Homo-oligomer: A and B are copies of this chain.
Amino acid sequence: MRDYNVGIVGATGAVGAEVIKVLEKRNFPVKNIKFLASSRSAGKYLKFKEENILVEELNENSFKGVEIAFFAAGLDTSRQFAKTAVSSGAIVIDKSSAFRMKEDVPLIVPEINKDKISEHKGIIASPNCATIILVMAIYPLCKLSKIKRLIVSTYQSTSGAGAKAMEELLVQTKAYLNDEKIVKEVFPHQIAFNLFSHNTRIYENGYNDEENKIIEETKKIMDDSDIKISATCIRVPILRSHCESINVEFENKTTVDQIRESIRNSKGVKLVDDRENNYFPMPIDSSLKDEILIGRIREDISRENCVEIFVSGDQLLKGAALNAVQIAEELIEK
């Protein structure tokens, strides 16, 4: 197996930093690595393995020689530079929402649809973090019976809004405890000891952009346009793991034991469903872990063929960086 020239756009951000760590940890075959960022962050040095690497300013010429480009810098940067990277000969693995719903862009969660990677035309999209956690949780379930409907309520950590949002939670919390003024810079509302509806654009139908991503991306990843989904996305004062309360309606009856067994036999997920000790998925347990934790599995007593589950996953790892690197791993294996 040969080594690859890798570029990371947004190397200084929350997801970028995790991509670097995941590449190191998984020993991704890197020949050369290029760290790219906006002019604000360019000039810094970041470590890769033992080496200090200069963060270069992202521009039209950044991708010369880059074979795999991870885009972890947000929607506008991907819109502006992803096609440039492809023209330069790179394959782009994009964490932003810029291309996810484009017909010629595969939207990949490797455990579920890695067979679609080969359909790429230069860009492969990695889904929204809350979407990844949702589909990872329901994939073991859909093997048992077709899923008709999902009702999702999220408990989303601050990391989804970037490193500055995580910092804002800590700074506001300190201020609260010291009886000082709460300063809001990243979020429109206080996040310390508070929670609020995900502050993305709200559509005519009342759903917000985050909810819409979950709904549309899930259909694409599951390759099932019939699946009905509703979602309510809530930001909670947590650092880096999302949780989701999910009501699953199946076409046929499934039992708790069947579901547990299917989770045990699935990759990338872990059963944490200890009723006796009241031990279920929690952010502090899923943080820094590769697996999505699934528990609180119950047959919904309000309707036949429905099941309730509660899941937790690291937003920065499987929700972002890990999934992107896994896509790259599948890509080079082919």
Contact = CB atoms under 8 A, between A and B. Distances in A.
B189 A282 contact: yes
Contacts of A232: 153, 245, 296, 308, 310
A283 B195 contact: yes
A302 B228 contact: yes
A311 to B, nearest CB: 11
A62 interface: no
Contact of A282 (B195, B205, B215, B283): B195
B177 A284 contact: no
Interface stretch (A21-29, A125-133, A236-244): A236-244
Interface string A47-70: 000000000000000000000000
A120 interface: no
Contact of A177 (B170, B208, B229): B170
Interface stretch (A72-80, A196-204, A315-323): A196-204
Contacts of A151: 151, 247, 300, 302
A81 to B, nearest CB: 29
Given A155-B234, A206-B275, A282-B195, A303 B228 contact: yes
A155 B202 contact: no
B195 A243 contact: yes
Given A155-B234, A189-B282, A197 B149 contact: no
Contact of A301 (B207, B238, B247, B283): B207
Given A150-B302, A205-B298, A230-B300, A283 B197 contact: no
A173 interface: yes
A168 to B, nearest CB: 13
B302 A190 contact: no
A256 interface: yes
A45 interface: no
Given A177-B170, A177-B173, A299-B206, A283 B194 contact: yes
A225 interface: no
A188 B278 contact: yes
A174 interface: yes
A149 B295 CA distance: 23
Interface string A155-191: 1000000000000011001100100000000001110
Nearest to A169: B193
A288 to B, nearest CB: 13
12 contacts: A149-B302, A151-B302, A153-B232, A153-B245, A193-B237, A194-B282, A194-B284, A195-B236, A206-B256, A206-B308, A228-B302, A232-B245
